[in-house]
């Protein structure tokens, strides 16, 4: 198929990026996965993310440009756990690329390689808001999970591209070393959060809390994905005062009005957490991501 594709392209006189000949084409659903894939794959992979880190990947739309990227991919990395349920199945159905379909060797669902939190212990339905029955899909926000993602990716790359298996393995070892060292630094830097209680906007920061030893006692959203009502906010005001809660953590893309209201009423500090690689221009890789999160906390300290 690749041959036909190349021949057709030449016949049509289309410019083909030279990477087509040299390297494994990886498509990821988020920039976090892209950053990890790049760290492991290095020079031998070409990585593209279908969604930008500035947006909530759950609400992405199945754009034609995504179909084209998936059509050309050798490997698809996804978050899974229903994160991409609204658009990835549609893109895959239109992609006509059998190598990256569910169950194919070029389809890697990273949620199967980490321990998911927030798995409901009873059946859920949509009256409960956006509760994911398989568990909370924001697992990349625990750096220990980043390590598991990197390991799964390096094993997958080694299996798909045996020639460079050792290269991928070495890159993983390097990644593991740096990450392990940095996790200690980050934890030291945020040690003041240990055992503390915070309020979060959405249920998406559970893994971050887990990684740094703090607890999210309440969300600004009354139910996941449901905008806060005035009465819910006033309930939060009394809770924040009563428990003397210092931090409200939220992603950059949520509305700030509720947080500002709570800040005025209680003095709670708003900590805007860049939740993904690419959420800010400066966050280029997975280490930058936690550096930026640590900075965000320290600035609100």
Q: Are 46 and 24 in contact (CB under 8 A)?
A: yes
CA distance 26 to 15: 20
Angle formed by the axes of helices 31-41 and 143-160, nearest 10°: 60
Position 191 contacts other proteins (CB under 8 A): no
Q: Are 143 and 181 in contact (CB under 8 A)?
A: no
User: To the nearest whole angstrom, how small is the minimum distance from the Cβ of residue 108 to other proteins?
Assistant: 13
Give the binding range for other proteins (CB under 8 A) out of 87-95, 139-147, 161-169, 231-239: 87-95
- Token pair belonging to 132: 């994911």
CA distance 257 to 151: 40
Which residue from 222, 235, 252, 258 is spatially nearest to 130, judged by alpha carbons? 222
Give the binding range for other proteins (CB under 8 A) out of 4-12, 155-163, 166-174, 238-246: 4-12
Which residue from 143, 141, 138 is spatially nearest to 184, judged by alpha carbons? 143
Position 80 contacts other proteins (CB under 8 A): yes
Nearer to other proteins, 43 or 61 (CB): 61
Q: Are 276 and 289 in contact (CB under 8 A)?
A: yes
Nearer to other proteins, 42 or 52 (CB): 52
Q: Are 43 and 25 in contact (CB under 8 A)?
A: no
CA distance 301 to 295: 10
* Residue from 129, 170, 187, 232 in contact with other proteins (CB under 8 A): 129
Nearer to other proteins, 227 or 244 (CB): 227
- Token pair belonging to 135: 């568990």
User: To the nearest whole angstrom, how small is the minimum distance from the Cβ of residue 275 to other proteins?
Assistant: 11
Position 48 contacts other proteins (CB under 8 A): no
Position 61 contacts other proteins (CB under 8 A): yes
* Residue from 19, 22, 96, 234 in contact with other proteins (CB under 8 A): 96
Neighbours of 273 (CB within 10 A): 21
Nearer to other proteins, 169 or 232 (CB): 232
Give the binding range for other proteins (CB under 8 A) out of 42-50, 123-131, 144-152, 157-165: 123-131
**Interactions with other proteins, residue window 236-275 (CB under 8 A):** 252-255
Nearer to other proteins, 68 or 174 (CB): 68
User: To the nearest whole angstrom, how small is the minimum distance from the Cβ of residue 28 to other proteins?
Assistant: 16
Angle formed by the axes of helices 230-243 and 257-266, nearest 10°: 40
Position 126 contacts other proteins (CB under 8 A): yes
Position 9 contacts other proteins (CB under 8 A): yes
Nearer to other proteins, 65 or 244 (CB): 65
Angle at 161 between CA 157 and CA 163, to 5 degrees: 125
Place of tokens 């740094």: 212
**Applying CB under 8 A, which residues contact other proteins?**
1, 4-5, 8-9, 12, 14-16, 52, 54-56, 59-65, 67-68, 71, 80-82, 84-90, 93-94, 96, 98, 101-102, 109, 123-126, 129-130, 133-134, 225-227, 252-255
């Amino acid at each position: 198929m690749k041959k036909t594709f190349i021949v057709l392209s030449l016949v049509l006189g289309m410019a083909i990026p030279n990477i087509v000949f040299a390297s494994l084409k990886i498509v990821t659903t988020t920039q976090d996965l892209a950053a990890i894939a790049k760290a492991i794959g290095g020079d031998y992979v070409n990585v593209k993310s279908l969604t930008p880190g500035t947006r909530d990947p759950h609400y992405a739309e199945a754009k034609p440009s995504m179909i084209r990227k998936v059509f050309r991919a050798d490997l698809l990395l996804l978050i899974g756990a229903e994160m991409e349920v609204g658009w990835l199945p549609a893109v895959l159905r239109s992609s006509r690329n059998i190598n990256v379909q569910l169950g194919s060797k070029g389809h890697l669902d990273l949620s199967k390689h980490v321990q998911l939190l927030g798995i409901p212990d009873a059946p859920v339905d949509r009256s409960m808001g956006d509760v994911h029955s398989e568990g909370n899909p924001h697992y990349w926000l625990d750096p220990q999970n980043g390590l598991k993602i990197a390991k799964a990716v390096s094993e997958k790359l080694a299996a798909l591209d045996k020639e460079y298996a050792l290269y991928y393995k070495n890159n993983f070892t390097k990644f593991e070393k740096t990450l392990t060292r940095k996790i200690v630094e980050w934890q030291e830097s945020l040690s003041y959060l240990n055992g503390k209680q915070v309020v979060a906007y959405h249920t998406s920061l559970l893994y971050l809390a887990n990684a740094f030893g703090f607890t999210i006692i309440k969300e600004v959203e009354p139910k996941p994905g449901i905008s806060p009502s005035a009465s819910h906010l006033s309930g939060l005001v009394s809770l924040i005062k009563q428990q003397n809660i210092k931090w409200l953590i939220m992603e950059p893309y949520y509305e700030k009005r509720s947080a500002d209201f709570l800040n005025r009423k209680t003095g709670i500090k708003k900590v805007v957490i860049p939740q993904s690689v690419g959420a800010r221009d400066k966050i280029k890789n997975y280490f930058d991501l936690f550096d930026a999160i640590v900075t965000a906390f320290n600035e609100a300290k």
